[in-house]
Amino acid sequence: METIHRIRDKFIPEPLPAPGTFQGRTVVVTGGTSGLGLAAAVHFVSLGAHVIITCRDPSRGESARLEIEKRTRADAVEMMVLDMTRYSSCCSFVDELSKRRPQGVDAVVLNAGVSKTHHDVSPEGWEETIQVNALCTTLLGLLLLPWLKKQTASSTPHMVFVASRDHLDPDITSWAPWGDDGAGILRRLSDRAHVSWPSGAESSTDSPNYAASKLLLMYAVEEITKLALDSEGQPKVIVNSVCPGLVHTNIARDISSHSWQMKLAVNLFFATLGKSADYGSRFYVAATQTTADEHGKFIVSLYSDDEYRKKAIPNMTSDAGKATRVLVWKEIIAELVANVPGLQATLNEI
């Protein structure tokens, strides 16, 4: 059934909202220099928004800014530097954003992510997939949340976490014991010895920590969704996670870079079932249009709401899933508070 839905999504796009829907609004898209992020920025600008994109490399960011404006209109895009492998960069970005936009922004799409096939360690000491997709994305959400909650605009701001249906795949039965053995779940997943990584020049089409990193993120989003509520249980910020589906972008560049055979296999797979970045990024736009009643919803085209609820039972809503979420959240908060000055005060403010 998923294959059928993927083929459908490849040829039948998610509709965009009416022209001018984002007129006068500001949208932040992290990782906006290529692929889904760039395509989403084009959509938002075309619909009237002023867009802020982020990048690690200022020259790439400037090239992307010019490309987006060339395809849409002038003076509609800003570029800001953000290195998702460093906590300090996340803090600097949020600080600078709040200075540039003291009145706030209307939506933040936390799109930046990686899919690594080889074990690379971030400057913070974590495997990069865990660092970028889980730890730093969560940190951005926590840093942005109190600022967004203070906004007084007529419409409720949105925070969108780019997730994946792959969070349904990990077998979490081994995770709970890791949480009790002193090392912790995150450290076990980050440790090369506990995850099956290719060695040396060996090639692989697998990103061993991608699905796990997206499950860690989904656990964090569940908690951030609760933190976004006011004293009466209403969302001050509408939080959603979204899966754009299988998209033919350079997210798999690390997979296809090892050999021509791997590049051919990856390109054939994505060419057959993958939708374009234009089509995939439309789900980002949809996620910024949700209502308060949809707060916390996972936006995905592969499943109906009932289908997703059933598939999410093992990892998300079962007793084991809930217990694992508590353990993971405790570890994430402990790591971030220990290494991000002032974060505890920010959490107290939320």
Q: Cβ-count burial of 131 within 10 angstroms (0-12 exposed, 13-18 middle, 19+ buried)?
A: buried
Establish if 258 belongs to a structural domain. Answer: yes
For the entire predicted model, the pTM comes to 0.92
Residues 6+ apart with CB under 8 A from 223: 325, 329
Give mean pLDDT in consecutive 10-residue pieces for the chain, a chain of 350 residues.
Answer: 60 86 98 97 99 98 98 98 99 98 96 94 98 99 97 89 98 88 91 77 68 99 98 97 83 54 58 76 98 98 94 98 97 98 94
- 214 in catalytic set: yes
- 210 in catalytic set: yes
Establish if 346 belongs to a structural domain. Answer: no
pLDDT value at residue 152:
73
Contact 138, 220 (CB under 8 A): yes
Say which of 10, 87, 149, 210 is annotated catalytic. 210
**Torsion angles phi and psi, residue 266, rounded to 5:** -65, -45
Q: The tokens of 217 are what?
A: 């993120």
Distances (CA, A) of 304 to 239, 243, 301: 19, 13, 7
pLDDT value at residue 310:
97
User: Quick check: helix, strand or coil at residue 173?
Assistant: helix
CA distance 157 to 288: 8
Of the candidates 38, 94, 43, 49, the residue with the CA atom closest to the CA atom of residue 75: 49
User: Quick check: helix, strand or coil at residue 29?
Assistant: strand
Establish if 347 belongs to a structural domain. Answer: no
pLDDT digits (tens, 9 = 90+) for 298-328: 999 889 999 999 999 999 999 999 999 999 9
Establish if 187 belongs to a structural domain. Answer: yes
Query: Whats the size of the chain, residue-wise?
Result: 350
> Kind and range of the H or E element at 27?
strand 26-29
pLDDT value at residue 151:
85
- The enclosing domain of 127 has a CATH number of 3.40.50.720
Residues of the domain holding 49? 2-338
Establish if 255 belongs to a structural domain. Answer: yes
Residue for token pair 């939506």: 107
Contact 55, 33 (CB under 8 A): yes
CA distance 112 to 132: 8
Say which of 10, 149, 214, 275 is annotated catalytic. 214
Partners of 80 in beta bridges:
54
Distances (CA, A) of 177 to 14, 168, 172, 185, 318: 42, 20, 10, 8, 17
CA distance 274 to 11: 10
Establish if 244 belongs to a structural domain. Answer: yes
Q: Please give the radius of gyration of the chain, using alpha carbons only, rounded to the nearest integer.
A: 19
Establish if 76 belongs to a structural domain. Answer: yes
> Kind and range of the H or E element at 215?
helix 210-227
Domain count of the fold of the chain: 1
CA distance 230 to 324: 26
Establish if 345 belongs to a structural domain. Answer: no
